[in-house]
Amino acid sequence: MADNNRLRRSATGAALGLVGLAASATTGCTAIHDFMNEDRAPLVATVAPIPEADEGQPTSSFVPAPPVPTTVTESLVSQPPVDDAQLNCTWRLQSLAYGNLRGGVVHLMITNNNPVPLPPSAIPEPVLVVRNPQGEETVIDLLDEQSSGIVNGLDVPLGPHATTTISYAVDTTPPNAYDATLTIGDVSWQGNLGQV
C-alpha cells in the first residue's frame, strides 16, 4: 500500500513536472495567461510569407566584380591601404612575423566595402613568392592549423563595412622575405616584406 502511494505521488509529481516544463518551454517562462486574449481564447500567431525575389531588386549576397590587379612596391613600412576592386574591399598588410610554432604569419587587415557580408569562400588563399640573391623564385606553402597553431583566413562572413585582421601561416620566416611578393585577391605587395 505504501508502495502504491509512493508510486502515485511519483507519477503525479512527474506529470506536474512535465506540464511545468511544457509551459515554460512554450512560453519562455512567461505565464500562460499572458498569451490569451481578454476572453481567455489563446492568441493565434501567423507567419507572413517570404516575398519571392524580383530580378529588379538588388541581390543580398556577395557578387565579385571584374579583377583590377594592383601592385604596391613603395611605402610598405607605412602600411598603405589598398583597394581590391574585385572583392570591393580594402587591404592593409600589417606584418610578416614569426609564427608561434614554426614558420611565419602574415597579418592582413581587411575592410568589407560591400553592402552585404563578404563570405570566407570569396577570399582566395594568398600566394607568397620569395626570391633568392640570384633572382630564383620559390612559392612558399601555407601551413595548416595543426602545424602552425593559426587559423588561416576569414572563418566567418565579414559584415558590411566591417574591418578585421586575418592571418595566414606560411612556411618561411621574415628574414627570408627580403625580396618577396605577396598576392591576395587583386592586390600584390612586392619588396622586403620582412620589414613591414
Collapsing DSSP to helix, strand or coil, 40 comes out as coil
Grid cell in block for residue 37: 486574449
Query: Environment class of residue 186 by beta-carbon count within 10 Å: exposed (0-12), middle (13-18) or buried (19+)?
Result: buried
What pLDDT, on the 0 to 100 scale, is given for residue 19? 45
Number of H helices, E strands in the chain: 2, 9
What pLDDT, on the 0 to 100 scale, is given for residue 44? 54
Query: Environment class of residue 164 by beta-carbon count within 10 Å: exposed (0-12), middle (13-18) or buried (19+)?
Result: middle
Query: Environment class of residue 95 by beta-carbon count within 10 Å: exposed (0-12), middle (13-18) or buried (19+)?
Result: middle
pLDDT truncated to tens, each residue of the chain (196 aa)?
Answer: 555 555 445 444 444 444 444 444 444 444 555 545 555 555 555 555 655 544 544 557 889 998 889 999 988 888 899 999 999 999 999 999 999 999 999 999 999 999 999 999 999 999 999 999 999 999 999 999 999 999 999 999 999 999 999 999 999 999 999 999 999 999 999 999 998 8
What pLDDT, on the 0 to 100 scale, is given for residue 25? 46
Collapsing DSSP to helix, strand or coil, 157 comes out as coil
Grid cell in block for residue 27: 512560453
Closest listed residue to residue 120, CA positions, set 152, 92, 162, 84: 152
Domain boundaries, the chain: 2-35, 70-195
**pTM, two decimal places:** 0.68
Q: Please report, for residues 101, 116, 123, 140, 143, the alpha-carbon distance to residue 146 in angstroms, rounded to integers and kept in the order given.
A: 10, 32, 21, 18, 8
Is the CATH number 2.60.40 carried by domain 70-195?
Answer: yes
Contacts (Cβ under 8 Å, ≥6 apart) of 29: none
